[in-house]
Amino acid sequence: MYIDPQNKNEVRRLSVSPRLEESEQPLYRSKNSQLDLDNNRPGQQQDKNNSEEDVRKQQGNIEDSIDKLNKKMSNAKLDDIEQRIRNGPDGGEVGDQLKLAGISKQRTVANEENDLKKLAVHGKKTDCKYTLRDFQILRTLGTGSFGRVHLVRSNHNDRFYALKVLKKYTVVKLKQVEHTNDERKMLSVVAHPFLIRMWGTFQDCEQVFMVMDYIEGGELFSLLRKSQRFPNPVAKFYAAEVCLALEYLHSMDIIYRDLKPENILLDKNGHIKITDFGFAKYVPDVTYTLCGTPDYIAPEVVSTKPYNKSVDWWSFGILIYEMLAGYTAFYDSTTMKTYENILNAPLKFPPFFHPDVQDLLSKLINRDLSKRLGNLQGGSEDVKNHPWFSEVIWEKLLSRNIETPYEPPIQQGKGDTSQFERYPEEEINYGIQGEDPYNVLFEGF
């Protein structure tokens, strides 16, 4: 089955976090739920030399948390680790790097588990591996509040990668230091077929850089807008792959917190890759931060209650709803009304929704945490065992052994950018060396 995309205008939704502002004024534009960064500034602009100590306090116990997270890494696959090393942008000798990583082809199960734990520890260190000189910057793939993402080509193996560039001054000014460091740390330890892969990081005195795989198929968001809505089997396919990705993250006590079609890419074969870990966080117990995209935020987040993995299953339900309906369950043109709907409005289904998916969504988009599917004792297995997913062969899906409903029309391995919008290019001043007042805040890069 293949989707026949039709033209339709695209309006992307921005993720939001109250840490961007301290004002009690409304944080959002009513027209399209985007942050108004210019009109809602409280008082005068913050001084560029913000107290480093204040910003560092945001980082809390992340290092201790990551150490605990590393203990959960023993289920990683040796083949995936070797593949990561083999295909790296530096194009180094596989054998030498495997020896440096302490990986041996012949080992006992105990030794393998021990090696993987060591590799997880080394995975926290992502700097000093690449520099700007290793890449040729080709074009812009996307822009945001903090910087932009470029398509780059490695000068060592001629492969294409995505280079995410964030401006330190803007990250500090908008109080996103913790989220930026969390993104690097989470990406440094995750390895899953349906998650974006980060190869390394580096920095200059003004920017931090993250080197990631280039996923050339474009956003699921663009495909959904062109198709208006997906047929039931198509939505089910993408939902099942997202479910496996969430199951993996939750097994490591990582919550994603920003699930939406804009953050789901399609690879050359049409399988998903969840990207943008800006709000991902290691949470072994609970957290309180209000962040995410308004249409997808769970009621416990809106009402500033403590929350954990439950929020991802609510967003998962909203994602399925939007894929099938073409719009989200509690949408309103004003963000505050959207929040009111999330807290109080009844869940209504279009008449063409299958009874099985209505049942699934009523259990995922459930305000009662004690009844929300995925948040119960059975965890993700309760979701996977629901009748709507009855024909999914989860093992084959995880091994990407199931035909995708849509193959992006691209030239593979050529750096094809036809599935991405064109953005105005700006003068690049990367690689500047000099005094860096924020270096201590981004030590991991």
Residue ranges of the binding site for ATP: 173
HEC profile of 10-51: CCCCCCECHHHCCCCCCCECCCCCCECCCCCCCCCCCCCCCC
Which residues, other chains included, contact 51 with Cβ-Cβ below 8 Å and sequence gap of 6+? none
110 three-class SS:
helix
Cβ(313)–Cβ(372) under 8 Å? yes
1 three-class SS:
coil
Active site residue: 115, 258, 295, 312, which one?
Answer: 258
Cβ(316)–Cβ(239) under 8 Å? yes
Q: How far apart (Å, rounded) are the C-alpha atoms in residues 148 and 166? A: 7
Furthest CA-CA distance within the chain: 63
Closest of 198, 244, 243, 185 to residue 398, by C-alpha: 244
Q: How is residue 229 annotated by DSSP?
A: S
| 79 catalytic per annotation | no
Residue 305 identity (one-letter amino acid): K
Which residues, other chains included, contact 128 with Cβ-Cβ below 8 Å and sequence gap of 6+? 202
Q: How far apart (Å, rounded) are the C-alpha atoms in residues 367 and 307? A: 12
Element containing residue 230 per DSSP (H, E)? none
415 three-class SS:
coil
HEC profile of 69-93: HHCCHHHCCHHHHHHHHHCCCCCCC
Cβ(50)–Cβ(172) under 8 Å? yes
Catalytic residues, which ones?
258
